[in-house]
Amino acid sequence: MIESMTEQQLSSASSKVKNKGKAKDKQTPLSAQERRLLLQFSDMLLVERGLSPHTVSAYDSDLKQFARYLKELNTVLLKATRADIMNFLGDRVLAGRSARSAARMLSALKRFYNFMLRERQIELDPTVLIDAPSIGRPLPLTLTESEVRALLRAPVTSTDLGLRDRAMLELLYGCGLRVSELVGLHVDQVNFRQGLIRVWGKGNKERMIPLGEAAMDWAQRYSTNARPNLLKGSSESLFLSLRGRAMTRQSFWHRVKAHGLSAGIRVDLSPHTLRHAFATHLVNHDADLRVVQLLLGHSNLSTTQIYTHVARERLKSLHQAHHPRG
């Protein structure tokens, strides 16, 4: 019978060994074999699965934590059992980690042991009968259309950096880009003549997104008037920092935060909030869900369907706020 991992079950499973496996030294060195296997696994995720370096790094960190836990139990990754995994995840819950954190760790372990089985390093996958803990899927944070307008108008476009920020915000909201797709844009990916932008999303999947009038107008203004002033030497990157280098996710995150404060937006704002706003506003205006799926680059329609729930929640809040019997 498949074992369903609720937080209560995780806690129970770990009670026998809750004082075991707590690494005395988080930097306990791994064996040469384990380092080699983890490196091969990371290479597979990057090359075959097309996962982002950030995701691969997170998986690597999770697996090293588990390997050090096993070392305290005098065993190794290739000899781990289902009980070892359950107890490890249970200890994390007892230590205050959320079910979501346990689910993320289990995902790394499942991928790793599936790879080890494929490579014939193990005969049985110890994760095969373990289900991820049941976690509620929170509705994504979004903005109203008036809040988006205020945010887009926040940059001072009389400066090169302000013009760049306005163009980036317009593209982020107008095209529903991921922040990594935005900062990774090259000049030749934007076709002003055809009004299209070409991006490569998760899994290195290519998609073409139409440019709205506002996004295209501000991107052209930036390209003509600001980018030449920021360019130092040569660069294929569309959006440049003051030093002439490609913008980073972290730098743009700080810019979004600053512009959000200037616009009087008090929610916990991030670049991804504008991607959510893009999708939610399309659904609010009766866009076909499959079209929204294509624009966002979602592999499954079920991922996109979350925005129908966001739209319903928005309608309910409007009804409660404005209807006399709300």
* Known catalytic residue at 272: yes
Residue of 178, 227, 255, 281 marked catalytic: 178
The torsion defined by the Cα of 172, 100, 92 and 130, in degrees rounded to 10, comes to -130
CB burial of 96-133 (b: ≥16 within 10 Å; e: otherwise) equals: ebebebbbbbbebbbbbbebbbeeeebeebbbeebebb
* Known catalytic residue at 314: no
Distance of CA 69 to CAs 26, 72, 132, 245, Å? 9, 5, 20, 41
* Known catalytic residue at 26: no
* Known catalytic residue at 222: no
Please answer whether residues 94 and 16 qualify as being in contact, where contact means their C-beta atoms are separated by less than 8 angstroms: no
* Structure tokens belonging to residue 173: 């909201």
Alpha-carbon distance 54 to 104, whole Å? Answer: 14
Residue of 49, 104, 202, 309 marked catalytic: 202
Residue 191, phi then psi, degrees to nearest 5: -110, 100
Residue of 71, 111, 275, 276 marked catalytic: 275
Residue of 64, 68, 166, 298 marked catalytic: 298
Residue of 59, 113, 173, 307 marked catalytic: 307
| Residue 303 CB contacts under 8 Å (≥ 6 apart), including other chains | 293
Catalytic residues: 178, 202, 272, 275, 298, 307
